[in-house]
Amino acid sequence: MKVLVTGGAGFIGSHLVSALLERGDHVVVLDNFSSGRRSNLDQLQGDIELVEGDLRSYERVHAAMSGVELVFHEGALPSVPRSVQDPLTTNEVNVSGTLNVLLAARDEGVHRVVFASSSSVYGDADGFPRDETQRPQPLSPYGVAKLAAECYCRAFWQVYRLETVSLRYFNVFGPRQDPHSQYAAVVPRFIARLLEGKPPVIYGDGNQSRDFTYVGNVVAGNLLAASAPNVAGEVLNVATGGSLTVNELSTAIQETLGVQIEPVYEPARVGEIEHSAADISRATRLLRYEPLQSVEEGIATTIDSLRAADALSA
């Protein structure tokens, strides 16, 4: 099968590309390398078809879509803090870019688009854990953009009969995340600082909780969503189904590393939600999704990956 992965040089996208190649698909990657890294594709260069281009260009998106049967739309401008600083670009990439993907998929007769949404769409919605029936109340431009893109996906199924499935990811972590970006996710950032003998920096009091989800679980959810019957137009949580506070995460990472360093606390960041945990029962029922790796297993694998990367760069 010919498959397109937008954002295929990114953290999640590159893991998905590897899994698709392993099962024998012909994989096309569309990326402009604004946040994705060429190094994520180094071992795959001879096995993929690479199209360099921006999601904001319908022409480039359409060129990448030629002959494609299935699309995994991972391409996005990530990060809540970045969206607070620059909401306009976040909207252009994550909303208009998604519209370009859907239009090109419709025009090329693609069978299904699996869209990478986010738990940030829930914001401070009532009810815990988060389930798909709750009314979204996003707190950040990033969450608003992901919700708007979900609505476009559903509309394209209803109006054009283009099958779409939106997966709401919860705090994904794992190898290939950049720990040194100013918008780095908390897990690689904590690990990198602790490996350097520095204290982890926690924004807020550390009692905010998250459903930390290892990237392998997200890849598995995508593969299931690509082929599951009777899921067109659906929105589904993909997560672990539990939660840790940021303080508990710091402790878990330090225990795995065998170190003990008191965190440094900074003021909470604007747009960040207080608590997040997923009800994954709908994905379990419709996709037969179950997490394959625990948070603890994911932390250990991520630590090994960052250590190996440090050894190579030394």
Residues 97 and 197 in one domain: no
Where is average pLDDT lowest: 88-97, 204-213, 235-244, 268-277? 268-277
Q: What residues form DSSP beta bridges with 52?
A: 31
Specify the pTM.
Answer: 0.94
CB atoms within 10 A of CB 217: 26
Please report whether residue 180 resides in a domain: no
Mean local confidence (pLDDT), 182-208 = 91
Find out whether 219 and 16 touch, Cβ atoms under 8 Å.
yes
Q: Can you read off the two tokens belonging to residue 189?
A: 């950032």
pLDDT of res. 313: 52
pLDDT of res. 314: 46
Residues 289 and 259 in one domain: no
Please report whether residue 155 resides in a domain: yes
Residue-wise pLDDT tens digits, 208-266: 999 999 999 999 999 999 999 999 999 999 999 999 999 999 999 999 999 999 999 99
Q: Which residues are catalytic?
A: 142
Mean local confidence (pLDDT), 141-166 = 98
Residues 283 and 303 in one domain: no
Which pLDDT band, with edges at 50, 70 and 90, does 128 fall under? confident
Q: Is the pLDDT of residue 183 over 80?
A: no
Q: Is the pLDDT of residue 188 over 70?
A: yes
Residues 203 and 121 in one domain: no
CA distance 67 to 158: 23
Residues 115 and 98 in one domain: yes
Please report whether residue 181 resides in a domain: no
Using CA atoms, how far residue 113 sits from 102, 197, 265, 292, in Å, is: 8, 43, 41, 23
Q: Is the pLDDT of residue 170 over 60?
A: yes
Residues 89 and 228 in one domain: yes
Residues 72 and 142 in one domain: yes
